[in-house]
Amino acid sequence: MNVRTLSPLDRLLERCERALEAIAGMPMATRPSPANGIAEAELDDAERRHAAGLMRVNHTGEVCAQALYVGQAALARDETNRAHLLHAAAEETDHLAWCAQRLLQLHSRPSLLNPLWYAGSYAIGAAAALVGDPVSLGFVVETEHQVEAHLAEHLEKLPAADERSRAVLTRMQADEIRHADAAQQRGGIALRFPLPQLMHASSMVMKTVAYRL
């Protein structure tokens, strides 16, 4: 059986398709949403808006994750690392779809600035890959550790009755831990000061803005 090798144009078109799907589309999840089978809670308007704001932040985070992984994969030097990054991106697509669905259920919308978040994250991912695969994978480890902590914070901030959002974030958190462990096992190195601090600061800006916009 012949396996077709993608040309540079094919890869570019594939990356454009992923970007459009992440920013403006409704991606298809390969796994069912963890919220399936859980009854919708009766939230008052303030609780619903708060839950929607948190889920909008998480949706934007998954848009950034898509861009980061695709940017890293585009310039990865090792084919097995490229395949690993694209596999992780596919799992992040599930997260993106689950968050998009939850936003609809909460009668809300994604961040209006998702194109900006995507472009910035893609550039960061590509820059990390240019330095080399160990740094690129280390970037994944640090990102996932920060996302894990962020999800733990959101699990505490969700309205107590919103079990559907809680189920989605709990599954996402487990996946992020697994992604960090896998990247570390593949040779990801610890990032030096001030990179983790800069990543945290930029994440705080994104979370503050995406909650409202």
> Has 17 been labeled as part of a binding site?
no
> Has 92 been labeled as part of a binding site?
yes
> Has 150 been labeled as part of a binding site?
no
> Has 47 been labeled as part of a binding site?
no
Cis peptide before 194 (omega within 30 of 0): yes
44 by DSSP, 3-state: which? coil
**φ, ψ at 73 (rounded to 5°):** -65, -35
In residues, how long is the chain? 213
> Has 163 been labeled as part of a binding site?
no
Q: Which pairs with CB-CB distance under 8 Å and at least 24 residues apart come from 168-173?
A: 168/33, 168/34, 168/35, 168/55, 168/98, 168/99, 168/102, 169/58, 170/34, 171/34, 171/98, 172/58, 172/95, 172/98, 173/148
The one-letter amino acid code at 21 reads E
> Has 84 been labeled as part of a binding site?
no
Residues 6+ apart with CB under 8 A from 164: 35, 38, 40, 41, 102, 105
Confirm if 76 and 140 have CB atoms less than 8 A apart: no
Give the annotated binding-site residues for Fe cation.
62, 92, 95, 144, 176, 179
> Which residues are documented as binding site?
62, 92, 95, 144, 176, 179
